[in-house]
Structure 1
Amino acid sequence: MLLLIFGLALWVLAHLFKRLAPEARENLGNAGKGVVAVVVLAGLAAMIFGYRAAPYVAVWTPPSFTYHINNLLMLGAVFLYGMSATTGRLRGAMRHPQLTAVIVWAVAHLLVNGDLASLILFGGLLLWAVAEIVMINRSSTWDRPAPGPAKKDVVLVVITIVMYGVITGIHAWLGVWPFPS
């Protein structure tokens, strides 16, 4: 569990560094982007390996119907994440599509994982995403971008479906079948 917690701490601190210590981040200049990226990747690796190595400690047993809710939420999370890159009509529909996607992803995973390591990982990332949104909203204003052509949103839907299939395939490859009967 320590590796998982360490990875989560690295992830959170690296992402919040710019907001918690803006002068220190600014003093690093362009090199700071590389440092932050390395810390984020180290945190991600530690979270993955720490989660996979964590002992199973049951906290609660999710009901079977939550798997269907999880799958719908995950489709929405993939779509929301993609909204941050769209240049279609949906561009600017929400201020924080990536962080909102992380929140939806975390809630979806908390619905179907009742063990301690999952509560730490998904709950921790959920709390981080909410805190990040609050900090960003307090520190800056937002100029909503103008919407683009609707055909770009159709591309987003197609990419969402393809990515959802890829993510499902990765889960199956790792031994986690997301569609239990």
Structure 2
Amino acid sequence: MAWLIWGLVLFLGVHSVAIVSPGARNAWAQRLGEMPWKALYSLVSLAGLVLIVLGYGLAREQPLLLYTPPAALRHLALLLMLPVFVLLLAAYLPGRIQRTAKHPMLLAVKLWALAHLLANGNLADVLLFGGFLAWAVADRMSVKRRAAAAPLRPVPGLPASAWNDAIALVAGLALYVVVLLWAHAAWIGVRPVG
């Protein structure tokens, strides 16, 4: 469990720099230089992600059950996951979905985390998905506060187009089907359906 916790601390910690200190990202980028700061940020994120994956895998070998979700919550989780990939793609594809969601990636993380908390009741699940949910909520509140103080830089992506929503919708739903029917079982070892 320690590896999972350290991974969450590293990954969510580095992604929380702007939450804790809105000017810190720019200060570090000026102090180190833009590319060295991005390289350091990426290395810490990657190290955190590797520790999360290893720690979660190890924790699943000796699960500590906190609650047993009823079957109805597993069905609700599948429904909540439906827009997640669409929102992730919409974060990089400016269009109506992106404008309506305002911060589609954060909304996708919140839905993903909530869906997995509803469907899983082990301690490792609560730490992993609860940590990401808490981070996404805190980041969304921080984004509102930071946007009021100074405009945020847009997420890099394709130029705005009427086609972007169609691309996000079709490709996002296709990804959902691939993950649901194959990738989740192949990569995580858990079959969401069947």
Normalising to structure 1: TM-score of the pair?
0.89
State the shift of 1:18 in Å.
Answer: 3.9
Distance of aligned partners of 1:18 and 1:28 in 2 relative to their CA distance in 1, 3 Å threshold: farther
Write out the 4+ residue segments of structure 1 that deviate beyond 6 Å after TM superposition.
none
- Contact 1:89–1:148 at 8 Å: present in 2 too? no
Residue in 1 aligned with 2:31?
A: 27
Residue in 2 aligned with 1:46?
A: 51
Aligned to 1:125, the other structure's residue is in SS state helix
Distance of aligned partners of 1:25 and 1:9 in 2 relative to their CA distance in 1, 3 Å threshold: farther
Query: In the aligned structure 1, how far is the partner of 2:73 from the partner of 2:98?
Result: 31
Query: In the aligned structure 2, how far is the partner of 1:128 from the partner of 1:107?
Result: 12
Distance of aligned partners of 1:36 and 1:149 in 2 relative to their CA distance in 1, 3 Å threshold: closer
Find out whether 1:177 has 2:191 as its counterpart.
yes
1:86-140, CA deviations, whole angstroms, 9 ceiling, x for partnerless residues? Answer: 2333332232110111010000000010010000000011111111111222122
State the shift of 1:19 in Å.
Answer: 4.4
- Contact 1:78–1:160 at 8 Å: present in 2 too? yes
1:128-176, CA deviations, whole angstroms, 9 ceiling, x for partnerless residues? Answer: 1111111222122458x9x954433222111012211232222121321
Residue in 1 aligned with 2:167?
A: 155
State the shift of 1:25 in Å.
Answer: 4.6
- What amino acid sits opposite 1:37 in the alignment? S
More moved, 14-23 vs 100-109: 14-23
- Contact 2:87–2:97 at 8 Å: present in 1 too? no
- What amino acid sits opposite 1:69 in the alignment? L
Normalising to structure 2: TM-score of the pair?
0.83
Q: Which runs of 5+ in 2 are unaligned?
A: none
Q: Percent identity?
A: 37
Find out whether 1:165 has 2:177 as its counterpart.
yes
Distance of aligned partners of 1:88 and 1:138 in 2 relative to their CA distance in 1, 3 Å threshold: closer
Q: Which runs of 5+ in 1 are unaligned?
A: none
- Contact 1:91–1:148 at 8 Å: present in 2 too? no
